[in-house]
């Protein structure tokens, strides 16, 4: 029997390549993230599916049928007017209409996504294609909403639109007289406004990144062919920016669906309670210890929407061809703004950017105020609130817990991110791409869904132990929170390390291996020093978002307040006495200061751009 020599040569080459890359280190790098995601992501989610699709011990769609046939969840007719004018108080009240829990959530998420995407495109075009005085200041101002202070940001926005002593009504109605009536925003409208202000930088950053990477010669050719102005943007620039637009819009849509902070702050209005995330949260809190199929069914529906958008957008972007600059960045000739351009920038865009930064300004004012009740501005200022955070053991323990959890999670995140980034960059085996998919998917998975699935998972697998969340007397949430935080915030570190490894030529590692150095020694002595700025910047970003994590914290951490992180305490004081809000604001100020420090370190020390990753 004659054997084709070329087949033998190809087989031998594959065996040599496998021997070169498959050693104990790469096997560990392959297996560790794989088993971690199977055990701590896929298995809990499958377990939740088992609860949602079972009725009276048999597979069934009963719980989904109940949800989708109930007017409480879906009401196509709608109830109430989205806004109305109150003649008695000369007030325009905007709250939104009630279309049921599911449709309310989808409508709010759609409105938030559309508005943030349009505004993000406008900002990205302005910052990437034009040169004007004050550009750097406006770019910084547009990123201010990224300084998140859970719950307190939403509280400040709510105070801003107070009809009698809110800043917006004081400025536009009482002082300038621009509005002929008072404006009151609450309910679903208040939640949508809060999310728009909070999330638009995510879209803007993703689109800006795409526009900066477009090969400038393509636009120059378009100009030479007669395309200018809006035609150039519509035909060339925006289509080439679709990866950033789609990624940013998808993230915002998912973040809006899963958001808990705004609904909790606005929960005083009945409509604010009729959102999927708030329903899961309140039903879980009221039924702690029970395997509620209705909660599981709602969580599965939320998971289905998130995964559908995540997979469709990944496939859509990967199936299209985009022209970008592969190496370095060519100098682009920027257009100079004329008089009309300056007029638009500083009479329209600047006031809107300034308005979106008010929540962060309000957090600082609230943190240092002695009293801010029924007045437009604080009545006095003090350092007592910030000092109490560090001097009062009953408050400081929550900050200490969060920092400790985040620090421990970083070790887990580092090993996971390095393993996944290395194998997806260096190995070319079938199935390696699935590790990248699993590693990046948590950014698009609703945190409240992961939290609920963890509750069921640990309650089933570790029943009557300290890891059983239903064991209210002895439950220790520390291991559960650390694993949950690590999985949830892994993508931030992963993308940073991946980008670093991608810039290191594989020949450097192969030369080291050929000289007799082992894989571990090569990675330790050659690769890690070269990508250390990426590693540190990615871990710093993950650290900040772990400390500010809300969904997993208030679902799992709230079960034992001795081990609760700071966002649980901030949530509690937001729902308690008014005086406690100053302490929550002080914690928010500390969290924002930490975020600002990280941004400065990343941009000035590591010379890297701070941005929300895309999908």
Q: Which of 545, 454, 425 is nearest to 493 (CA)?
A: 545
Q: Are residues 391 and 368 in the same domain?
A: no
Q: Residue 323: which pLDDT band, with cuts at 50, 70 and 90?
A: very low
Angle formed by the axes of helices 293-318 and 276-286, to 10°? 150
Q: In this model, does residue 589 exceed pLDDT 70?
A: yes
> ∠ CA(464), CA(468), CA(473), 5° rounding?
75
Q: Are residues 109 and 224 in the same domain?
A: yes
Q: In this model, does residue 327 exceed pLDDT 50?
A: no
Q: Are residues 115 and 188 in the same domain?
A: yes
Alpha helices in 53-166 (DSSP H): 62-68, 101-129, 135-143, 152-160
> 611: domain CATH number?
1.10.3720.10
Q: Are residues 137 and 165 in the same domain?
A: yes
Q: Which of 373, 395, 423 is the last residue of a domain?
A: 373
- CA dist 238 and 234 (Å) reads 6
Contact residues for 102 (Cβ-Cβ < 8 A; gap 6+): 67, 68, 73, 74, 276, 301
Task: Say what the pLDDT of residue 284 is.
Answer: 86
Mean local confidence (pLDDT), 164-180: 91
**H or E element at residue 488:** helix 478-502
Partners of 381 in the beta sheet? Answer: 369
The verdict on residue 548 lying in a domain is yes
Task: Say what the pLDDT of residue 129 is.
Answer: 86
Write out the two tokens for 213: 């990477």
Q: Are residues 156 and 190 in the same domain?
A: yes
Task: Say what the pLDDT of residue 14 is.
Answer: 60
The verdict on residue 394 lying in a domain is yes
The verdict on residue 155 lying in a domain is yes
Pairing state of beta strands 335-336 and 130-131? parallel
The verdict on residue 66 lying in a domain is no
Q: Are residues 426 and 485 in the same domain?
A: yes
Percent of the chain with pLDDT over 70: 90
Q: Residue 330: which pLDDT band, with cuts at 50, 70 and 90?
A: low
Q: Which of 194, 200, 237, 239 is nearest to 218 (CA)?
A: 237
Q: Which of 313, 346, 373 is the last residue of a domain?
A: 373
The verdict on residue 119 lying in a domain is yes
Burial profile 136-164: b = 16 or more Cβ within 10 angstroms, e = fewer: eebeebbbbbbbbbbbbbbbbbbbbbbbe
Contact 155, 239 (CB under 8 A): no
Distances (CA, A) of 368 to 148, 540, 585: 17, 27, 8
Between 20-24, 30-34, 120-124, 141-145, the lowest mean confidence (pLDDT) is in: 20-24
Tell me the pTM. Answer: 0.89
Q: Are residues 44 and 3 in the same domain?
A: yes
Q: Are residues 337 and 472 in the same domain?
A: no
- 514-557 per-position pLDDT tens digit: 888 888 888 888 888 988 888 888 888 899 889 989 999 999 98
- 287-308 per-position pLDDT tens digit: 654 668 888 999 999 999 988 8
The verdict on residue 331 lying in a domain is yes
- CA dist 508 and 516 (Å) reads 13
Q: Are residues 22 and 81 in the same domain?
A: no
Q: Are residues 363 and 450 in the same domain?
A: no
Query: 3-class DSSP state for residue 119?
Result: helix
Mean local confidence (pLDDT), 1-16: 58
Q: Which of 325, 351, 373 is the last residue of a domain?
A: 373
Q: Are residues 369 and 388 in the same domain?
A: no
Longest dimension (CA), the chain: 98
HSE-up of residue 236 (Cα within 13 Å, Cβ side): 21
Q: Which of 538, 528, 536, 540 is nearest to 501 (CA)?
A: 528
Q: Are residues 554 and 495 in the same domain?
A: yes
Q: For all residues of the chain together, what is the average pLDDT? A: 86
Token pair 């390095």 is at which residue?
418
Write out the two tokens for 52: 């949602």
Domain count for the chain: 2
Distances (CA, A) of 449 to 197, 458, 545, 556: 24, 14, 18, 12
Task: Say what the pLDDT of residue 10 is.
Answer: 62
Write out the two tokens for 526: 């050659």
Q: Which domain holds residue 291?
A: 73-373
Q: Residue 138: which pLDDT band, with cuts at 50, 70 and 90?
A: very high
Please give the distance of CA 451 from its chain centroid, rounded to a whole number.
Answer: 15
Q: In this model, does residue 244 exceed pLDDT 60?
A: yes
Mean local confidence (pLDDT), 167-171: 92
Contact residues for 231 (Cβ-Cβ < 8 A; gap 6+): none
The verdict on residue 67 lying in a domain is no
Q: What are phi and psi of 30, to 5 degrees?
A: -75, -45
Task: Say what the pLDDT of residue 458 is.
Answer: 93
The verdict on residue 321 lying in a domain is yes
Contact residues for 54 (Cβ-Cβ < 8 A; gap 6+): 60, 293
Please give the distance of CA 490 from its chain centroid, rounded to a whole number.
Answer: 12
């Amino acid at each position: 029997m004659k054997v084709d020599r070329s087949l033998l040569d190809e087989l031998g080459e594959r065996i040599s390549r496998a021997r070169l890359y498959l050693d104990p280190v790469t096997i560990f790098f392959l297996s560790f993230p794989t088993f971690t995601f199977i055990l701590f992501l896929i298995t809990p989610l499958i377990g939740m599916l088992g609860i949602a699709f079972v009725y009276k011990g048999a597979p069934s769609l009963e719980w989904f049928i109940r949800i989708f046939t109930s007017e409480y969840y879906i009401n196509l007719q709608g109830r109430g007017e989205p806004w109305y004018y109150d003649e008695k108080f000369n007030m325009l009240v905007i709250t939104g209409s009630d279309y049921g829990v599911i449709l309310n959530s989808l409508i709010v998420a759609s409105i938030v996504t559309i508005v943030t995407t349009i505004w993000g495109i406008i900002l990205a075009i302005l910052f990437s294609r034009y040169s004007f005085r004050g550009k750097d200041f406006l770019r910084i101002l547009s990123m201010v909403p990224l300084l998140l202070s859970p719950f307190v940001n939403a509280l400040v926005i709510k105070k801003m639109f107070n009809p009698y002593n809110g800043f917006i009504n004081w400025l536009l109605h009482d002082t300038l007289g621009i509005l002929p009536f008072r404006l009151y925003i609450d309910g679903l409208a208040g939640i949508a406004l809060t999310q728009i202000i909070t999330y638009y930088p995510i879209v803007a950053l993703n689109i800006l990144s795409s526009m900066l990477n477009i090969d400038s010669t393509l636009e120059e050719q378009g100009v030479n062919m007669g395309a200018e102005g809006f035609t150039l943007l519509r035909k060339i620039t925006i289509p080439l920016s679709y990866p950033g637009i789609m990624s940013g819009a998808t993230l915002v849509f998912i973040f809006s669906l899963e958001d808990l902070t705004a609904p909790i702050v606005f929960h005083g209005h009945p409509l604010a309670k009729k959102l999927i995330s708030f329903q899961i949260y309140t039903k879980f809190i009221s039924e702690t210890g029970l395997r509620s199929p209705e909660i599981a069914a709602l969580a599965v529906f939320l998971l289905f929407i998130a995964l559908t958008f995540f997979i469709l957008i990944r496939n859509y972007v990967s199936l299209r061809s985009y022209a970008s600059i592969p190496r370095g960045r060519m100098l682009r000739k920027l257009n100079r703004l004329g008089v009309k351009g300056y007029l638009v920038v500083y009479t329209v865009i600047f006031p809107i950017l300034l308005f979106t930064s008010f929540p962060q300004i309000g957090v600082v004012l609230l943190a240092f105020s002695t009293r801010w009740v029924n007045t437009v501005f604080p009545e006095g200022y003090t350092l007592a609130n910030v000092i109490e955070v560090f001097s009062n053991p009953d408050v400081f323990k929550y900050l200490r817990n969060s920092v400790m959890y985040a620090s421990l999670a970083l070790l887990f995140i580092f090993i996971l991110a390095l393993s996944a980034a290395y194998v997806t960059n260096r190995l070319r085996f079938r199935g390696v791409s699935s590790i990248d998919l699993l590693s990046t998917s948590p950014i698009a998975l609703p945190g409240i869904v992961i939290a609920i699935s963890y509750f069921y998972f640990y309650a089933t697998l570790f029943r009557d132990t300290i890891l059983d969340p239903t064991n209210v007397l002895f439950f220790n949430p520390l291991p559960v929170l650390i694993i949950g935080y690590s999985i949830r915030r892994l993508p931030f570190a992963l993308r940073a390390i991946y980008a670093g490894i991608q810039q290191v030529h594989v020949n450097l590692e192969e030369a080291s291996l050929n000289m007799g150095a082992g894989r571990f020694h090569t990675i330790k002595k050659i690769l890690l020093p070269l990508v250390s700025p990426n590693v540190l910047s990615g871990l710093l970003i993950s650290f900040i978002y772990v400390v500010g994590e809300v969904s997993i914290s208030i679902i799992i951490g709230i079960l034992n307040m001795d081990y609760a992180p700071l966002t649980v305490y901030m949530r509690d004081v937001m729902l308690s006495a008014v005086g406690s809000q100053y302490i929550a604001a002080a914690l928010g100020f500390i969290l924002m200061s930490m975020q600002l420090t990280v941004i400065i370190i990343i941009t000035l020390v590591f010379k890297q751009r701070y941005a929300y990753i895309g999908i």
